């Protein structure tokens, strides 16, 4: 069953308000990059304390100093940290080393990677086991949704844990779920909905009923 990851990119107070309504349908809560820029690890600590049962991902999009920067998120209480697939192999290895010191996990954000399948092979060789196919927000109008990349990488690596992010909404589930993502990342389709709780419930039920990964 795919997990639903809720990305909180706004203010912390807005994020907490959404989470209050949506947390029961969420498997992983994400402190998004803009929220990290605003609040730093305070966002992680506050959400960790309020929802100790939720898995928590901090979307640092690490590009350098992999071990030291991943340490910051894990030390603050994150379960998962993101590193850019565009970063150097040493940075990936550093983030993995940080994760291995505790029970942390590294998600590699494939944003901007020209050949995701080839890079996936390199990342797997480095020890990565969770990749996120992610169309940049700024490129969604031009590049469209990331499901083509998900389809490519899924075809090459049927058993690899994959997340999909970037413009995911309820209406896209019929195109995404047949590609068997392990994690479906949703942001504004929940946070900007008139009723975030209802939006989360509908997406959660869609994933439960039709997701079979």
Positions 21 through 60 that interact with a second copy (CB under 8 A): 33-34, 36-43, 60
Binder among 1, 100, 112, 155 for a second copy (CB under 8 A): 112
Positions 151 through 170 that interact with a second copy (CB under 8 A): none
Neighbours of 50 (CB within 10 A): 13
Of residues 73 and 207, the one with the C-beta less far from a second copy: 73
DSSP-derived 3-state class of residue 131 = strand
Pick the closest to residue 166 from 210, 122, 116, 91 (CA basis): 116
Residue spans of alpha helices (H) in 102-195:
116-126, 140-143, 147-156, 173-176, 188-191
Based on the shown chain and the rule CB under 8 A, indicate whether residue 63 belongs to the binding site for a second copy.
yes
Which residues lie across from 185 on neighbouring strands? 5
Of residues 111 and 128, the one with the C-beta less far from a second copy: 111
Instruction: Tell me how long the chain is.
Output: 213
Inter-residue contact 9 to 189 (CB < 8 Å): no
Of residues 21 and 42, the one with the C-beta less far from a second copy: 42
Q: Which stretch binds a second copy (CB under 8 A): 68-76, 125-133, 191-199, 202-210?
A: 68-76
Based on the shown chain and the rule CB under 8 A, indicate whether residue 103 belongs to the binding site for a second copy.
no
| Maximal CA-CA distance, the chain | 44
Of residues 122 and 212, the one with the C-beta less far from a second copy: 122
Q: How many residues bind to a second copy according to rule CB under 8 A?
A: 35
Give the C-alpha separation, 202 to 123, whole Å: 34
Contacts with a second copy, residue ranges (CB under 8 A):
9, 33-34, 36-43, 60-61, 63-66, 68-69, 72-73, 84, 86-88, 90-91, 94, 111-112, 136-139, 142
């Amino acid at each position: 069953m795919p997990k639903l990851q809720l990305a909180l990119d706004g203010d912390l107070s807005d994020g907490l308000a959404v989470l209050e309504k949506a947390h029961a349908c969420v498997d992983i809560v994400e402190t998004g990059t803009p929220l990290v820029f605003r609040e730093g690890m305070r966002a992680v600590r506050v959400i960790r304390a309020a929802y100790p049962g939720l898995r928590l991902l901090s979307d640092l999009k690490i590009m350098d100093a992999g071990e030291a920067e991943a340490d910051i998120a894990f030390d603050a209480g994150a379960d998962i940290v993101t590193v850019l697939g565009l970063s150097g192999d040493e940075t990936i290895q550093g983030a993995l080393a940080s994760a291995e010191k505790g029970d942390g996990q590294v998600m590699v954000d494939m944003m901007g990677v020209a050949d995701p399948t080839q890079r996936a092979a390199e990342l797997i060789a480095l020890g990565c086991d969770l990749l996120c196919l992610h169309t940049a927000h700024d490129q969604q109008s031009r590049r469209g949704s990331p499901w083509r990349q998900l389809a490519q990488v899924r075809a090459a690596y049927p058993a690899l844990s994959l997340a999909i992010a970037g413009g995911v909404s309820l209406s896209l589930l019929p195109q995404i779920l047949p590609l068997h993502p392990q994690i479906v990342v949703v942001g504004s389709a929940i946070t900007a909905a008139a009723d975030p709780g209802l939006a989360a419930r509908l997406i959660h039920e869609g994933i439960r009923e039709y997701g079979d990964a």
